[in-house]
A and B are shown apart, each in its own frame.
Chain A
């Protein structure tokens, strides 16, 4: 029982420890990515991959000290979550900057026909 209980902080070591500060950002963005992907055609695949990634961390928190570098599927998800959020974040920044200083806004390339 004690072994299972102490696996809780060790589990977090594997999950949020992955990828440092970027990992934490990725973890925060993960629900957004999963919502998007689960609504798409690759629902079953993403579900299988997510189960694999979480199971890996869970099992390793029971049988090993769960060093973060061994949990690479989680790292993949975090990288994907960040990459997936980047265009949205850039657009949000664009919009905010445009409001603050109109000259900073991105050039509308669609209007330029590119």
Chain B
């Protein structure tokens, strides 16, 4: 009785019906449905990207200084030097984003003008006049992310209705449009990351080592935009090996299963090895980016003095949108301030002093990141 009731409900449910209609449409007009979905996704991202002007921070971003040095001097460095003086080679941030901006600047003279930090006040007054190609490219990456979210959801669940709903829910929280109009590599990093995850999923279905290698390449590319995935790739390769080893089968089958994580790791190394070799050659350690990573670590270290009594308040206040409101409602006005980023006395704000101390304790040419990590 219960079974027949559930079966009937499955047919009549509005969303199952919606998903069923999409599948039926897709079978009849596959190209039109694909174009329609792409159009909706494009409108969703572009409306977010062009709703407000491009946002620039108060100070000239590290990415601009590095890209400008790449264009003018051909050197990867964030140092500001006098005209005609070659800056020393550095590793202020991961290479992906500055190289991409530099490539755009070579094609567009307005953008090349915009990344010159000497004239930053003027650039900041009219950002839309300089950075349209960057916004467009970041929005395109956002569209790519949504397409991959759809493909991933479809690959995992096999249901088009669920994949469509997943895209809708994802687009609400992912701020893809917002990240298209700020000077951050989020959309590029996430595009590479989701491409890697999608290829990995297909690789598992088809059982092809080459696909695992391609997934490694893609996640390696993500690490060139934001270094956390670099550590993650190693950890994931180990985890995949553990999964392969724990899978049912004979010992020989388990050994064969290890070829997938190996291919994955080799793919990632293929992409990250040149930049790691550069770091080893110039600075004597394999760190992909020093300054940007050291700043992040400094802001993380700033939370270390937080007493356990503050943990529940912190956990509550870090719920986006409603967190501060709930915390202040329960624990009194101003209690959420110290878990924010800007208020005086905030834990996060101590990160500036921690970075400055780490920077001054580091010998010239040394790694601030390593200095901070050792403290």
A residues sitting closer than 8 Å to B (CB atoms) are 2-3, 6, 8-10, 12-13, 16-24, 26, 37, 41-42, 44-49, 51-52, 55-56, 59-66, 68-70, 72-73, 75-76, 78-80, 82-84, 86-87, 90-91, 94-95, 106-110
Contacts and interface: CB of A to CB of B under 8 A. Distances in A.
B126 interface: no
Interface in B311-333: 311, 314-315, 318-323
Given A63-B297, A83-B153, A110-B11, A45 B315 contact: no
A37 B17 contact: no
Interface string B191-204: 00110010011001
A94 B12 contact: yes
26 contacts: A16-B315, A20-B320, A21-B322, A22-B173, A37-B157, A42-B204, A45-B155, A48-B236, A49-B200, A51-B239, A56-B228, A63-B296, A70-B186, A73-B197, A76-B149, A76-B170, A76-B197, A79-B167, A82-B166, A83-B153, A84-B166, A87-B161, A91-B10, A107-B12, A108-B11, A110-B12
B54 interface: no
Nearest to B9: A91
Contacts of A52: 197, 232, 236, 239
Contacts of A9: 303, 306, 311, 314-315, 318
Contacts of B204: 42, 44-45, 48
A72 B190 contact: yes
B162 interface: yes
B169 interface: yes
Contact of B236 (A13, A55, A87): A55
B136 to A, nearest CB: 21
Q: What is the interface of chain B mostly: helix, strand, loop, or mixed? A: helix
B170 A47 contact: no
A49 B97 CA distance: 25
Given A17-B318, A51-B236, A63-B296, 5 more contacts: A23-B173, A48-B200, A48-B201, A55-B232, A76-B149
B107 interface: no
Contacts of B131: none
Nearest to A44: B204
A79 B303 contact: no
A28 B8 CA distance: 27
Contacts of B162: 80, 83-84, 86-87
A87 to B, nearest CB: 4
Given A22-B172, A83-B166, A13 B315 contact: yes
B161 A44 contact: no
B232 to A, nearest CB: 6
The residue among B10, B156, B165 with the most chain A CB atoms within 10 A of its own CB is: B156
Nearest to B226: A70
B152 interface: yes
Contacts of B351: 65
B319 A63 contact: no
Contact of B319 (A20, A46, A73, A91): A20
A65 B15 contact: no
A48 B239 contact: yes
Contacts of A95: 9
B9 A94 contact: yes
Given A52-B197, A108-B8, A70 B228 contact: yes
A80 B322 contact: no
Contact of A42 (B10, B15, B156, B320): B156
B300 A20 contact: no
Contacts of B163: 83
A20 to B, nearest CB: 4
Contact of B15 (A24, A56, A73, A87): A87
B231 interface: yes
